Chain A
Amino acid sequence: MTIRRENPAKFNFKNIARRSVLKGAVSGAALLAAPAIFSGRAQAAGKYMDLESLRGANIDWRQAEGAKITIGVIPAGYFKNLEAVLPDFAELTGIDARLEMTPPGQIRQKAVLDLSSGTGTWASHAADPMYYPLYVANNWVDPLDGYLGNGKLTDNSWFQYEDILAGWRGVTSVDGKPYGIPFDGEATIQVYRKDVYDKLGLKPAETFEQFMSNAEKAHDPDNRLWGSALRGFRGAGQNMYIYPSIFRAFGGEWFDSSGRMVVNGPEAVAALEWYVKLLNNYSPQGVENWNWPDIADAFGQGTVASYIDAHGSAAIIANPEKSKVVGKIGFARWPKGPSGKRVTSIWNWSFPINAALSDKDKAATWLFIQWAASKETQAATSYAFPGAYKRTGANRTSVWGLDEYKAVLSAAGDNYIAATTESFAEDTDVEWRPRLPQWPAVGDTMATAIQSSLVGQSSVTEALNEAQRKIDAVLKG
């Protein structure tokens, strides 16, 4: 799925060079014509995207000209692509926006530190949707309905907030009010070795039992092929990212009728037992420390026959430079759980507005968010991106329908686009994970319980009972 064209870094370099040449030109009388060249360029298409189409929005893009904002993001390909096209944003708005890369393990803590101290260091950041209830409980971020409804700031007939995938809008909203605008995200899907399944006469699993039996049949560790793998590493965003789908598919509910959070009910026990059985019997040793890159690497090396994880992991397994199984990959939606439901993740990185900013910086931040989430920028950072890596987590239904976008995705393997888009349309569940301000504590407690039972530190029931005790204490305060 990679078409090598120009290196994005090269574009950046050229751009910087051009800017510094222009600075020099101010002092040089011989280069009086330079500004004319500059503005001439600016009025035509941008370097990466169609600025004319952006200017078609009925708002004043230059209303916060001169503002300087910093946005915290993670060093992932999709944000690097966004960083590469940032010069067009500067050209459009006159706002100096800078992306600060922080590893995913630290970005939540850093954001919380910044928000709780009110320093306003990050005007916005790539936010974990599970953190919105916490942010809102502390009034750390602005509700965005006021921005979306303000004709001076937003032209919604052009921006079309409703075009953003419904599940993602749901999970970035609290009590019906949006607090973040999704930029990039994913669905979890079933990934399997087509050649292995064909040889054994297997079909992608329709049910959880079938997924287990497929893993059993494909499991052949003597020939270095393990049946399946799921995230085993402890963390709210690792094992507590995959377990909730299983829990919900088993029919589990996070809250009982009285609103009490319950994590040790019969569905929870059955779900965790299924997970532990699958990983202990059919996964390579060490899976309890695996996160998605480890799973994708193992699959790419041909040692794992199936997994369920983010559709974006295809960037590794379908990359001929990293993977030995290119052309042998099949994709499918989650199997149906005992409750008859398929439950995919609704993970996405979204941008909120830090409530501690000045009004001008808030306007600048909103313009940045609107620009980043717009169709034009989504296109410019995905299928139309001139670099080798093209984003596959576009935020809009309309983009997922474009032939150009599909052409980039189809190279990943069999049934990739259908599996992903159907998951978005049918399998998302806003109650995928329990949404409450205490999520950081609840998520970590659950992650510990899941890993404890996976490695046999305690039994499934013991681990969940212990988690229930801890969660009761956490929610009581």
Chain B
Amino acid sequence: MQLPPKVGIGRQRSGLFTGERGFALLMVSPGLLVLILTTTFPLAYLIWSSFQNINLAMPFLDGFAGLDNYRNMMSDGRYWHAQQLTAIYTISSVFLQIAIGLGLALLVMQIPAGQWLFRIMAILPIVLAPVVVGLFWRTLMLAPEFGIVDFIVRVLGFGSVNWLGSPTPALISVIIIHTWQWTPFAFLVLLASLASLPPDIYEAARIDKANAFQRFIHITLPLIRPAIIIVVIMRSMIALSAFAAIFAATGGGPGTASEILNLYAYKTSFVELNFGYGSALAVSLLIITLGVSGILFHLRTAKRN
């Protein structure tokens, strides 16, 4: 910049759309506008409608509801049931993804050549649309009598299990489906993180006669902790708001056995046509997701300090 600083400051203060800063603002404004229209506005609308009675089945009751929707939520057994399922679904699927992903990454690290092959194979489930994954598991893998999983279980002598038709196996199934699709993500991130670890520390540890387990606990884990926490944050946020694969595989059923909060919110809004209460459910999910990721981010920075 050739201008003296005083002039620059003066120009910045003179108006929103003048000067270099103004020009920059002008340039980003279309993008900003699109962002506001597509994310901020719907979000604000969602929060607004959660304080309203909007029920297409009872249009005569429409109007301001205050905290009624939230109050109803507190005494709604199905809401707490969905809440509980969401917790089970998120915690177990994220835990499994990290455990299996890390295990696989450690194994693949031992392979001297050809790691690229595993990387490519790992990408395949990730690029599938979740609806496709749900349908594929529902029909090809888990169908009673004809499914591949059921076939294997029967051959092993455990007898046929009605995977998607009984309450507990259905919940286990949707956790397995989610884990199957997203473990490769954890695997790829952790593999990259492992590959970047400095070999000299391990050499020093070996000289100090640390065994493999000690090396893993005292060197590998602390070094890759940031990567693990990032994976936990990203996967938890996605698992909390999972929808398509469960919708396609069980529709939240049988009964309400796999109806996590997101499905319940969808059903309330779009099947029962009660948009006010559905919005309140969605807002509660939003608060939970923000809270959980806030805590996790806090953990991450706390550890760093």
Contacts and interface: CB of A to CB of B under 8 A. Distances in A.
Interface of A: 109, 112, 116, 134, 137-138, 234, 285-286, 288-289, 437-441, 444, 448-449, 451-458, 463, 466, 469-470, 473-474, 477
B56 A285 contact: no
Nearest to A289: B165
A233 B166 CA distance: 12
A452 B254 contact: yes
Contacts, number: 94
Given A234-B254, A286-B144, A448-B255, A112 B56 contact: yes
A163 B77 CA distance: 48
Nearest to B60: A137
B115 interface: no
Nearest to B257: A457
Contact of A451 (B55, B77, B254): B254
Interface string B263-276: 00001001111100
Contact of A137 (B59, B144, B145, B162): B59
A477 B165 contact: no
B121 interface: no
B82 to A, nearest CB: 12
8 contacts: A112-B56, A138-B56, A286-B165, A440-B273, A444-B267, A452-B254, A457-B256, A477-B61
Given A437-B57, A437-B58, A234 B274 contact: no
Interface residues of B, number: 33
Contact of B257 (A138, A455, A469, A477): A455
Closest 3 CB pairs of A and B: A452-B255, A441-B272, A457-B255
Nearest to A138: B59
Contacts of B162: 285-286, 288
A203 to B, nearest CB: 31
Given A437-B58, A444-B267, A451-B254, A456 B164 contact: no
Interface of B: 53, 55-61, 72, 76-78, 143-145, 160, 162, 164-167, 251, 253-257, 267, 270-274
B273 A448 contact: no
Given A289-B165, A444-B267, A451 B255 contact: yes
- Report whether over half of chain A's contact residues are helix, strand or loop; otherwise say mixed: helix
A451 B162 CA distance: 14
Contacts of A470: 78
Given A438-B58, A444-B272, A288 B251 contact: no
Nearest to B76: A473
A174 B253 CA distance: 33
Nearest to B61: A477
